[in-house]
Amino acid sequence: MAISTALWSFALVVGLLTLTPGLDTALVLRTSALGRAKQAWGVVLGIQTGTLLWGALTSLGVTAVLTASQLAYEILRWAGAAYLVWMGARMIVDTWRGDRSDVAEGEADALTTGTDTVAGGWRQGTLTNLLNPKVGVFYVAVLPQFIPAGAPHFTTGLLLTGVHILLGLVWSALLIAFARALRGWLRKPRARRLLDRITGTVVAGFGLRLATAD
């Protein structure tokens, strides 16, 4: 299999994966819809940083430990589940703290908007990606199959990972552009709280599913 054929084939697989609604989509949409443009792009860059690390570690053979060691997988799985449940629960709890009919709109905005920084979003996106062992297992199972025989393993692995990152960036840009259309409705504090409750439930749900998965 030629490298060009491998790139197109891998792009098709990860393209479908990228388009599938999931945790990354929920985080990007929620952050961008609340008007936090810097933090939204920070989340995107953090997710892609995690993808790059998974791809690099897989190309080096390091992530094979996840499939070879049950203990390593379980430690990462429970750490990821705990982080997602904590993050989702915090989103939900914070909305109830500001859910009072006598709260002024400006005060409600302060309760729901938070700090808009690239660094904060990057930390959130990176941790969310790296603490999900299923991403590592996916790369261990899929990436080597698209590396042509005789091709440099590490370099080709990074090249394939770059395709995944590029598709992720393009899709995230479309999500952020779409979310901007919701900003008029989300100027209402109640709408913002509703969005955070929905997203918090989705995030915590992913954490619980990760904790209970076999």
% of residues, the chain, pLDDT over 70: 86
CA distance 173 to 165: 12
Cβ–Cβ < 8 Å for 210, 80: yes
The pLDDT value recorded for residue 100 is: 43
Kindly tell me the burial class for residue 10, based on how many C-beta atoms sit within 10 Å of its own C-beta (0-12, 13-18, 19 or more): buried
Cβ–Cβ < 8 Å for 202, 208: no
Element at 148 (helix H, strand E): none
Angle 35-25-182 from CA coordinates, rounded to 5°: 35
For residue 54, is pLDDT > 90?
yes
Better-predicted residue by pLDDT, 175 or 67: 175
Cβ–Cβ < 8 Å for 132, 51: no
Query: Which pair of structure tokens corresponds to residue 35?
Result: 């008007």
Q: Which residues 6+ apart lie within 8 Å of 214 measured at CB? A: none
- The residue extents of the domains of the chain are 3-212
pLDDT tens sequence across 75-101:
877 887 888 888 888 888 887 875 544
Among 59-73, 161-175, 183-197, the range with the most confident prediction by mean pLDDT is: 161-175
For residue 134, is pLDDT > 60?
yes
Structure pTM? 0.77
